[in-house]
Structure 1
């Protein structure tokens, strides 16, 4: 017997409906699982961005010749760079100075040791390559004093390198140096001799949550949004000590901090210029770049940045409050700049892409100059080509700072 089509349809409806419900339930569970994974991954990424972390090994010591005073490291884009560098180690030595590359192959790089290593020295294999070169202020062989800069959170340690009695041309000009993310003020020591030779006093500062200055309640970075206040306190310190004009110098995240000081400080009339080495000028560009390097899905990156910027997500991201990425985007705020800026950036930075640095030059060619390096990588421009790096600062300083009066305050 032939079953009428309508009857057959009615008979199939309960089964079809049950199948659809099962499929939708499975799809919902799968979708919920995917969303949960995305949320978890984005939270982890967000926390990693703002959590101060210990220095992580990025190379291995595979050979040490104490007779020839050479060291062999695994080959990375950094360990094969020409120039002078440092190496954080564990064992009988904690920090080594490294000289030129003597030999390399596809897997290793042999470099000259500039720190003498005795035959009894024992070093762990794991090590971290560094652009610092100088690790302590005493290594500069310049007079200095340890200082404490009072901030809203408490005293922030600093080193003060006076200009010297022979520097009579600009005794009232100071430079305040700001280190980058995950480092300390020792990162800035490379620049002190350049400014000392110009007759400029150097104040090398710390800021909240960097391991030396006081800890905030959250204990995390705000990527410059709050740290600038500690550097602003350093400007007040300089003013009380007789500074008539100050150049801000920032390295990496220290560049983001220095720019926030220039845009927000009550001491803007004191600022004569800004020097930026491998600076963060727009955090969203940096975070997106680093996420792509790590093959993080763009959806995770977008969620992480959104969570970091939201006050409601602060208990999860542990930021203590939303990070104002729009305020930290200095390309978008380029019209607010009032001080000459020198940017030193390598197009193969590998950590902070130079795109925003180029964009800032285009946005404010009247104020912003850029010295473009290549090969030099991130914050290792001094190490790679000390002469060019130093000459660039000296030339800019002579043209844009010594020959100009301090910028007028907008406050």
Structure 2
């Protein structure tokens, strides 16, 4: 009933938001004074922005600067599966040595892979970038079957095989567990496409370490509670009708409830910027919330297994994580360089949880292991913003390029 109630409310509010959108756009904005008309227009613009969307926003990466030259970028589908696409940001050839291929592994946690837009754009300067473009589960017909943690690992292995030998992996947040597991499976099988380097950024490898409020919430209830209270069936008219999902709007509500004042203040600032005619400042906030309020439903099987195995029973960290009936053995990883990154102020995946990967991989030689704690950043600052671009990314690039030989 939860999803049906949400859908009913969304349908009910849609005409109001549409009216506010048209009214905000059509009203004349006085450029020289704070007129009543401008206030009304700004209020309508804010109202129209306070909505959830369920389609992936555009990546908007059309060019990148390579060796001081602006190079066109196009998107191409390399491999398409019902629940995800391997997307390639193809750069026009500029001569010189080819850039190393990198698979950017995006979280499947309520938002679309476009949340890593800036991460991908930065990586494109020196790398040939692919991304795991996860689909909205509510748009996947029931006949396509289930999608669980094993399927996520399967996708990573298939995607790396499609890219071919010599690729590198950069996993952000939630998929660090699956990325480490996939690398271990490929190493144990001596798969030719096992990655040359594995970068894990702000991921919950061992949530027993320095637990956050997110970790405490996960262990506060049995998994049956999560299934009973947070899983819903997709309603009509969506293609995934009757599929069991963890709705993206539930995840977003949980995230926003962690710091509601910050979001209230952001929308207040958007209104004030519009009233003052500060269009660029308002657009920065609008762009963020266009992305943040685009929600992606998770397949129920994947969500429940992630909560249980990653956040409740810590299977990978305890050495009991299974994949297709086999125990995942990170000690099988020998030739892949390992780089872990954590944010000093990360309140979602705290310091210590990602670096735990090093202890799980004793067969990787010490000189192939690197760790970095970035001061002054929270969770999102690990993969976006000034410190990502200026301090973290150079370390990532160094690890990738050093492990190419």
TM-score range, shorter chain: 0.5 to 0.7
Partner Cα distance (1:208, 1:217) in 2: 13
Give the match's secondary structure for 2:373: strand
Q: Is the 8 A contact 1:256 1:328 kept in 2?
A: no
Name the structure 2 match of 1:261: 182
Question: What TM-score do the two structures reach when normalised by structure 1?
Answer: 0.52
1:346 to 343, 348, 353: 343
1:230 is matched with which residue: 155, 166, 187? 155
**C-alpha offsets along residues 302-350 of structure 1, whole Å, 9 cap, x if unaligned?**
886999xxxxxxx9x9538966557851574542333112122113211
State how 1:290-301 maps to structure 2 within 5 Å. Answer: 290-292=214-216, 294=217, 300=221
Residue pairs, 1:6-405, within 5 angstroms: 92=21, 122-124=45-47, 136-138=59-61, 142-147=72-77, 149-151=79-81, 154=82, 156-171=84-99, 173-180=100-107, 181-198=109-126, 200-207=127-134, 222=148, 224-239=149-164, 244-265=165-186, 268-270=191-193, 271-282=195-206, 289-292=213-216, 294=217, 300=221, 319=301, 328-330=315-317, 332=319, 333-338=329-334, 339-362=336-359, 364=361, 366=366, 367-381=368-382, 382-385=384-387, 386-399=389-402, 401-402=403-404, 404=405
Deviation at 1:368, TM superposition (A): 2.9
What's the counterpart of residue 279 of structure 2? Answer: none
TM-score, normalised by the number of residues in structure 2: 0.53
Q: Is the 8 A contact 1:184 1:210 kept in 2?
A: no
CA separation in 2, counterparts of 1:235 and 1:213? 23
- In structure 2, do the counterparts of structure 1 residues 177 and 328 end up closer, same or farther at CA, with 3 Å as the change threshold? farther
Say if 1:305 and 1:263 are closer, same or farther in 2 by CA, change over 3 A: farther
Max radius of gyration: which structure?
A: 1
Instruction: Write out per-residue CA displacement over residues 52-111 of structure 1, whole angstroms, 9 at most, x where no aligned residue.
Output: x99xxxxxxxxxxxxxxxxxxxxxxxxxxxxxxxxxxx9749xxxxxxxxxxxxxxxxxx
Aligned pair in 2 of structure 1 residues 216, 206: CA closer, same or farther (>3 Å)? Answer: farther
In 1, are the aligned partners of 2:205 and 2:356 still within 8 Å (CA)?
A: no
The CA distance in 2 between the partners of 1:126 and 1:397, in whole Å, is: 40
Kept after mapping to 2: 8 A contact 1:206/1:213: no
What is the CA-CA distance between 1:190 and the residue it aligns to?
Answer: 1.7
Q: Provide the secondary structure at the position in 2 that maps to 1:194.
A: helix
Specify whether residues 146 and 306 from structure 1 end up closer, same or farther in structure 2 by C-alpha distance, changes over 3 A only: closer
Q: CA deviation at 1:175?
A: 0.9
Structure 2: tracts of 5 or more residues without a match = 8-18, 23-40, 52-56, 65-71, 229-243, 247-299, 320-328
Distance 1:215 1:273 in 2: 36
- Residues 215, 166 of structure 1: CA spacing in aligned structure 2 closer, same or farther, 3 A cutoff? farther
Measure, in 2, the Cα distance between the counterparts of 1:135 and 1:255.
Answer: 25
Q: Give 3-state SS (helix, strand or coil) of 1:269's partner.
A: coil
In structure 2, relative to structure 1, the CA distance for the partners of 1:136 and 1:384 (3 Å cut) is same
RMSD: 4.5
Structure 2 Cα separation of the partners of residues 213 and 392 of structure 1: 38
**1:137–1:186 Cα contact (<8 Å) kept:** no
Unaligned runs of 5+ in 1: 1-46, 48-52, 55-89, 94-117, 129-133, 308-314, 405-411
CA distance in 2, matches of 1:369, 1:331: 22
Secondary structure in 2 matching 1:143: strand
Following superposition, the deviation at residue 225 of structure 1 comes to 3.5
Q: How many residues align?
A: 269
Cα offset for 1:388? 0.4
Q: Residues of 1 paired with 2:123 and 2:140: CA distance?
A: 24
Q: Give, in whole Å, the separation in 1 of the partners of 2:213 and 2:174.
A: 15
The answer as to whether partners of 1:331 and 1:359 remain within 8 angstroms in 2 is no
